[in-house]
Amino acid sequence: MTDKLFSYLSLASDVGESDYIKDLSHQFVVAELAGSYHSALFSYHLIFICYFYQIFHKMKLWLPDKHHLAVVSFSADRRKKFRDATDPTAYVHKGNQESPMFEFLNVFSDCEKVVSRCKKLVKYRNEHLGHVNYLLVSKDEFEKQITEYEEVAELIHRLTHKELAKVFDEYVRSLDPAENLTKDDLELGLIIPQRLSPIDLCSLFAECELNPGTVQEKIKTILLDDYHIDVTLLQ
């Protein structure tokens, strides 16, 4: 198993989010090794929802006007909570239902097929993992579902490509080609504030390849030397 979903999670997160995901990841690994695939999938689903909340927060960072309008029909307290969100954990609310939340992906681009696959993951969780049914998840079924999570995560990430490219282009244009650029500069100026993930960094590497320049070469070097970007993830 590749468990590729983890490469889609942001490198920067607050303590609460980081501890929560770390604990879920531990539960997933322990359960998988023990052959408790039911428990492993349940943990993996929660990690997937954490990933979605991170994407929703990127929506606010990159498309603030659309994000603002997207929650206009919510109750006043929920609307304020979402609009004031400073990190992904702020989207947790008692009124949230996972399936309808995925409709927000359409803010990036009309994507009914992606939303449908997200909802099917929720349906599977509800029918197979969320209630007593006396059915155990087999290893084959486990691997099939993990692959589905990974494929859907990739499709969601593709929806962000256009906006991520804009953010990166703006960052590159803000830099002086003559100035030195370090890992700390890249982290503080781009990776942390934009809550980028390892797979996002792969996309940035691809952007550097497609639009070469002095600054892009410096960024490529940092991505390869300091972040050990796996270029094969781009394929």
Profile the chain (235 residues) by mean pLDDT over runs of 10 residues: 82 90 96 96 96 97 96 92 94 91 96 98 93 90 96 97 96 96 96 96 93 95 90 56
The alpha carbon of residue 62 and the mean position of all alpha carbons in its chain are separated, in whole angstroms, by 14
Rounded Cα–Cα distance for residues 9 and 181 (Å): 25
Q: What is the pLDDT of residue 131?
A: 85
Six-digit token pair at 99? 């399936």
* Phi, psi angle pair for 120, to nearest 5°: -65, -35
Task: Specify the pTM.
Answer: 0.93
Residue among 54, 152, 62, 151 at smallest CA distance from 108: 62
The C-alpha angle with vertex 44 and arms to 99 and 51, in degrees rounded to 5, equals 60
Q: Is 129 helix (H, G, I), strand (E, B) or coil?
A: helix
Rounded Cα–Cα distance for residues 46 and 28 (Å): 10
Which single residue is written with the structure tokens 């599977």?
A: 124
CB 44 within 8 A of CB 5: yes
Q: What is the pLDDT of residue 231?
A: 63
Residue among 3, 56, 8 at smallest CA distance from 25: 3
Q: What is the pLDDT of residue 229?
A: 85
The alpha carbon of residue 24 and the mean position of all alpha carbons in its chain are separated, in whole angstroms, by 15
Type of residue numbered 151: E
Rounded Cα–Cα distance for residues 16 and 29 (Å): 20
Distances (CA, A) of 110 to 48, 104, 105, 106: 21, 10, 8, 5
* Phi, psi angle pair for 34, to nearest 5°: -85, -5
Q: What is the pLDDT of residue 1?
A: 45
Rounded Cα–Cα distance for residues 47 and 128 (Å): 17
Which single residue is written with the structure tokens 């990166």?
A: 168
Residue among 167, 172, 170, 152 at smallest CA distance from 216: 172
